[in-house]
Amino acid sequence: MAPKSCSLCQNAKPILRRPKTGQQICKHCFFTVFETEVHNTITEAKLFKPGDRVAIGASGGKDSTVLAYVMKTLNERYKYGLSLFLLSIDEGITGYRDDSLQTVKRNQQQYDMPLKILSYEELYGWTMDRVVSTVGKKSNCTFCGVFRRQALDRGAASLGVDHIVTGHNADDIAETVLMNIMRGDIARLGRCTAICTQGEDTIRRSKPFKYAYEKEIVMYAYFRKLDYFSTECIYSPDAYRGHARGFLKDLEATRPSAIIDIIHSGEAFEVKDEVRATQKTQQTCKRCGYMSSNNLCKACSLLEGLERGMAATAISDKGRRKLDGQAPTPENLRTIPYFHTPITVAIDVLPTPP
């Protein structure tokens, strides 16, 4: 039975059970705790400084829509002094991305933020529709992840920003910890929980939702009545991640703190120096000029494979070795897809009292 009053303010009627803590709270308190926790994550990690120009990786999905709304709210409330932009990537997926970009365009108006859209077609000469028709559905997310990472960097450069924030949430990060443990990928395990990363490129990337539960993001979007797009990509996402996700959801059902516990476990792993990935000398890609640790950047290696009709070879283990000279792991070429977390998430909304 629902308690008579919110367990935080002891005043208003509770309307939801908070997935992270099980507390039954009112809408106002939910907004406050959710936003305050994100603010605390941002300030504890010192993610921004006044004057920063920050691009929000925006797909129109729930995570990035809530991120844009919360970033705007916190920037105004706590006077972060940030200039915020929306940055969207059009992968060229008919019936999916074309519709979700309409949502981002509405968000641009609703949040009054400049929007930049970059397409794979203009950057690479390939849409994901054409990539899938060439390589099939098995490795499409590998191509998409590599292309997206570079596209975001290029979009950020054209906006003159040096920081991209993405809507990766606690569930995404806990899944990645589990996947890296299951693969024995110690080097990645050591860095997958980092809130802020700076890779081959010069653009900082961070995850203000690192500790925000997916269910709470869905609830927040629902109660704030945010305008977001909730259809999954038509090209099925990585099956291995799907297993990790299913396992995590089972754990969460038994013990809600499992998600945060797994992130904290990932953070607590100490990676010995000798197993850390060796830093390679930075150079520029001979084909496109993007920063790369090899003659060709990862996107151009994949493109060359596509153009030669040897895409399958380009992402085989042998191909991976050729691409970046690192030990081949299934994650070598794959970044976490930003835009396709499944949207069917059951949330525990209390029945409206009579």
Q: Which spans of this chain sit near Zn ion (rule: CB under 5 A)?
A: 6, 8-9, 12, 26, 29, 285, 287-288, 290, 297, 300
Q: Tell which positions 320-339 bind ligand SF4, by CB under 6 A.
A: 337, 339
CB distance 26 to 12 below 8 Å: yes
CB distance 303 to 333 below 8 Å: no
Instruction: Tell me if 145 contacts ligand SF4 by CB under 6 A.
Output: yes
Q: Which residues, other chains included, contact 224 with Cβ-Cβ below 8 Å and sequence gap of 6+? A: 31, 66, 69
The bridge status of strand 204-206 relative to strand 115-119 is unpaired
Q: Which of 26, 29, 66, 128 binds ligand SF4 (CB under 6 A)?
A: 128
Q: Which of ligand SF4, Zn ion, none does residue 13 bind to, with CB < 5 to 8 Å depending on kind?
A: none
Q: Which residues, other chains included, contact 238 with Cβ-Cβ below 8 Å and sequence gap of 6+? A: 141, 334, 337
Instruction: Tell me if 340 contacts ligand SF4 by CB under 6 A.
Output: yes
Instruction: Tell me if 140 contacts ligand SF4 by CB under 6 A.
Output: yes
Alpha-carbon gap, residue 72 to 334, rounded angstroms: 30
Nearer to Zn ion, 77 or 286 (CB): 286
CB distance 288 to 297 below 8 Å: yes
**Token pair 């994650």: residue:** 331
Alpha-carbon gap, residue 110 to 115, rounded angstroms: 12
Q: Which of 57, 237, 305, 319 binds ligand SF4 (CB under 6 A)?
A: 237
Nearer to ligand SF4, 14 or 60 (CB): 60
Instruction: Tell me if 345 contacts ligand SF4 by CB under 6 A.
Output: no
**Token pair 């003659």: residue:** 295
Q: Which of 6, 14, 66, 91 binds ligand SF4 (CB under 6 A)?
A: 91
- Minimum distance of ligand SF4 from residue 203's CB (angstroms): 19
Instruction: Tell me if 64 contacts ligand SF4 by CB under 6 A.
Output: no
- Minimum distance of ligand SF4 from residue 139's CB (angstroms): 10
